[in-house]
Chain A
């Protein structure tokens, strides 16, 4: 069977190559029609069978010639030409360690995907970047998504670096990366963006101004408040919420009387979390009336007396009346107590009870109010970003405290600083625990390991 050898050798000569291509096309056309309808094209295939050896059947002859040409074309194939694109700029940031890269791959594969934003922001904060081979699946994961996921896209663009921008140039699906490019000499939008631009551009201008000069942004908002539509007023409060200070308080207090319910709610949320605000003090007054330390001199229990009804002043401060007439009065009261506690500054309790958070949560409460207290305090701790309280509350829940409402525990487990788990509180077998606690422990361990890997440097492998 030396015919293929000879065929391969001869076809590599350029003059014969063109003949072979047209011969192949002729054969393909003849085969499409069939040898019943058309003759086998005469071809001088290099190294083909001699006339005497050729099979009598034209179909067999066609197939034999096709076989020779197939092998000849495969062996004698010439490479094409291609122009590669300009290469990506080198990235100054070092990549995360291989262990952290494997963890990112696990998250992208579906393990605890909700922790991805935390991983990315921790990597950015440490000046590290995503390993190149994981960029495509990360970019695909974050490109879908609503406005709420815009933060995820922003973090991805930062953590992806110059390689991500280069990839975005190749794939239009990823163009969000260039939209977030932290280009240093990008000129800030001029006044035109504010006066004439779309809602998105106005937001961008305002955010940039707020970052540069919070006071100027505040004045701009105050001046434009009355003329703005409700959606835009929501945007104003949103921009302030990014970094509120007591100087913003008058604006937000006024917003509590706004005509739009959404504006009122957002302003109340921001004020509740702002240390030293008047709303916070009002809430503290109400809260101390609802919860006190009772049980004699030893102060052995927390006594809860929920507010009887939701007055106008409470509504103005953001408390919603809760389930309607259909719910039991007890459920209504529990809801009000929850809302009050959730909006009260946490130093109210440490001040009033004279003991730290860890001891406060350990005090038993009366008549099954523990789950309400847990949920209320947890919401307050997450809004006010109080790690001490969050650690105390998680510790209470893990030591078979009162989960009842599991969503809060889930959110708490994802917000608390996992460093406290180094003490071993989350060690031990999972099998006998309730699913909510199991989930909380698993995610705490995951986040703890994740942050440790990002701190380790490359050499660990």
Chain B
């Protein structure tokens, strides 16, 4: 049987805060008429089978909802109609297990659970048998790469024509257009093997409805997309780092193994300054910002997990990670991968910049990478409320907060009207605050 998780790990799987609350109130146990845990099937020698959980929970329907968890994934299944994944019944069952309230090794699971678990076990053994890998033959690899370049080139030409069409017909029409308007062109970009462009295009669907100034924002995005298309067409003329940036924004992703093999590791005490999670297409992405104490470099580490799985938790905000980082190549290298972690140390609060210094550093970075829309910021500022939520520094300058960051009340509470050190992401729509340091010098994630 797998080692029991703790409550925090279970709650981290929840898709949102209301799910966490609903799961905790369901986990009181009174609604559960049957729970059990076991190791299904015979354990193969040499493998650790983490086992499974199951339970029946009384809900609003006549028949109780049945939830099953396969801990090897983890994977879940519940008969309730909820769209959330994992649903509150699965989370509550996991919480009961974490508290030790599920009788363990209770024999075989009931029929409805055993069937699903057996199917999963069958799928897992088939998957282990063979995986399609990269072709070993360099000729095939070269031909594939050529094909991709050709597809991307024609895809970008098509995007260029589409963008010019938009400019010709006028952006006013896009307020009435549905999501299909952008989904179509995004699908063409997927066909052209340029997923980076597809993501940007799909994100545009919400811009016409984002309030005042939508027209300017849409024009900005279209203009930058055309810039990307032109840059790709002329990529031979570009300096190598900029060429890498253009290609990575289009969607040519480098494999982690290649980055680690070709890059120079940079060892430093990397202060973990802030992190933010988002969800894109059923994948959860964690963006963690680091700053090297000695080298003074900033780094962005991305980690991914499918919806329903836990994200990597090794970098904790407020600590320093003594680690080797390898940066992805680019004109303004920010994205990095942790090659090896040596130690975790307690961190002291960073010294904040002024707003003017932040804007100057962003302008310098833009000169290298014009598409840069997310820049690490650490400021000594006081949050203010009127007319829009903003932060202002001692020099009297102010920057607005990103509307997506919400009301940011915890930031106001920590500050209490006094200057506070805040780390966040600077974007063209405003500052997205991620961490603040309170009077005790403790990092508080926002």
Contacts and interface: CB of A to CB of B under 8 A. Distances in A.
Nearest to A406: B30
A439 B101 CA distance: 10
Contacts of B370: 1, 4, 67, 71
Given A79-B355, A109-B24, A132-B413, A28 B219 contact: yes
- Among A31, A76, A85, A432, the one with the most B-chain Cβ atoms within 10 Å of its Cβ is A31
Contacts of B21: 109-110, 113
Interface in B1-54: 7, 11, 17, 20-25, 28-30, 32
A390 interface: no
Contacts of A406: 30
Contacts of A34: 167-172
Contact of A429 (B100, B356, B392, B400): B100
B240 interface: no
A439 B103 CA distance: 16
Contacts of A76: 363
Contact of A431 (B32, B101, B399, B409): B101
A71 B362 CA distance: 11
Contact of A136 (B172, B223, B413): B413
B397 A79 contact: yes
A57 interface: yes
B231 to A, nearest CB: 7
Contacts of B28: 435, 439
B405 to A, nearest CB: 14
B386 A163 contact: no
B398 interface: yes
B341 interface: no
Interface stretch (A58-66, A143-151, A204-212, A245-253): A58-66
B157 interface: no
Interface stretch (A164-172, A296-304, A327-335): A164-172
A342 B101 CA distance: 33
B369 to A, nearest CB: 9
B219 A27 contact: yes
B416 A171 contact: no
A81 B398 contact: yes
A63 B222 contact: yes
Nearest to A433: B101
Contact of B101 (A85, A131, A430): A430
Contacts of A36: 168-170
Q: How large is the interface on B (under 10, 10 to 19, 20 to 34, 35 or more residues)?
A: 35 or more
B413 A87 contact: no
Interface residues of A, number: 69
Contacts of B238: 1
A77 B359 contact: yes
Nearest to B416: A88
A58 B167 CA distance: 9
B181 interface: no
A45 to B, nearest CB: 12
Nearest to A72: B366
A88 to B, nearest CB: 4
B170 A32 contact: yes
B396 interface: yes
Contacts of B227: 64, 67
B412 A170 contact: yes
B398 A79 contact: yes
Given A33-B170, A63-B226, A167-B412, A432 B103 contact: yes
Given A24-B216, A32-B171, A63-B164, A84 B222 contact: no
A250 to B, nearest CB: 45
B338 interface: no
B444 A28 contact: no
Nearest to B400: A80
A380 B346 CA distance: 52
A8 interface: yes
Contacts of B224: 67, 70
A131 B439 CA distance: 11
Interface of A: 1, 4-5, 8, 12, 24, 27-28, 31-37, 57-60, 62-64, 66-67, 69-71, 74-88, 98, 109-111, 113, 131-137, 163, 166-167, 170-171, 406, 429-432, 435-436, 438-439, 442
Interface of B: 7, 11, 17, 20-25, 28-30, 32, 99-104, 160, 163-172, 215-216, 219-220, 222-224, 226-227, 230-231, 238, 242, 355-356, 359, 362-363, 366-367, 370, 382-386, 390, 392, 396-400, 409-410, 412-414, 416-418, 428, 436, 438, 442, 444
Given A82-B390, A110-B25, A167-B413, 18 more contacts: A32-B170, A36-B170, A63-B223, A63-B226, A74-B363, A76-B363, A79-B356, A79-B397, A84-B392, A88-B417, A88-B418, A109-B17, A133-B438, A133-B444, A135-B413, A431-B101, A431-B102, A435-B32
6 contacts: A12-B363, A66-B223, A67-B226, A80-B398, A81-B396, A170-B385
